Amino acid sequence: MYCEYCGKENNKNNNYCVSCGKSLKSNNNINTNIQNKNQNNSLIFGIICLIMSFILNILCFIPGIISIVYAVKYKKESGKLGVGFGLSLGGMIYSLVMFIIMMFLILLFMFAYENSDEYDYNNNYEYVERV
């Protein structure tokens, strides 16, 4: 942690700056507020990502990446990634898996339709009367 008065780096357990002797308690409050803000932002964007992964499949990557950025900032300050990281990662993985499944199904139906007898690519339509 850095002293807000002189800028000297101090151990996070110190109550007073080793350089100027000023109290570091106000710094602790500021750091705690920043940690809480980053954790809350990560959680909010993680929830948005998870919900969007069910509704707007690929678009969930935008809030997911924002959530991961806040989670990494929170980890630098507190040593933990937080819940938002897990939510956003889970939402992005789910979204990616569902996108791959949808693309596979689309290709499968296109291939099945292409090989069906109902469509003639040469436009040679013949009317066959069924008895």
Q: What is the pLDDT of residues 50-83, one digit of tens each?
A: 787 777 777 778 888 888 888 888 887 777 777 8
Nearest Cα neighbor of 32 from 56, 12, 9 is: 12
Average pLDDT over residues 27-34: 59
Nearest Cα neighbor of 19 from 36, 41, 2, 43 is: 2
Helix, strand, coil shares, percent, the chain, to 5:
65, 5, 30
- Tell me the range of 5-9, 11-15, 56-60, 97-101 where mean pLDDT is highest: 97-101
For residues 31 and 24, is the Cβ–Cβ distance under 8 A?
no
Looking at every residue in the chain, the average pLDDT score rounds to 76
Q: What are phi and psi of 20, to 5 degrees?
A: -105, -15
CA 61 to CA 69: how far, in whole Å? 12
Largest CA distance in the chain: 102
| Predicted pLDDT at 11 | 80
Rg (C-alpha) for the chain, rounded Å, is 28
Report field, pTM of the whole predicted structure over 0.75? no
- In the chain, the amino acid numbered 96 is L
| Predicted pLDDT at 44 | 82
pLDDT over 70 (residue 98): yes
pLDDT over 70 (residue 115): no
| Predicted pLDDT at 121 | 54
For residues 43 and 84, is the Cβ–Cβ distance under 8 A?
yes
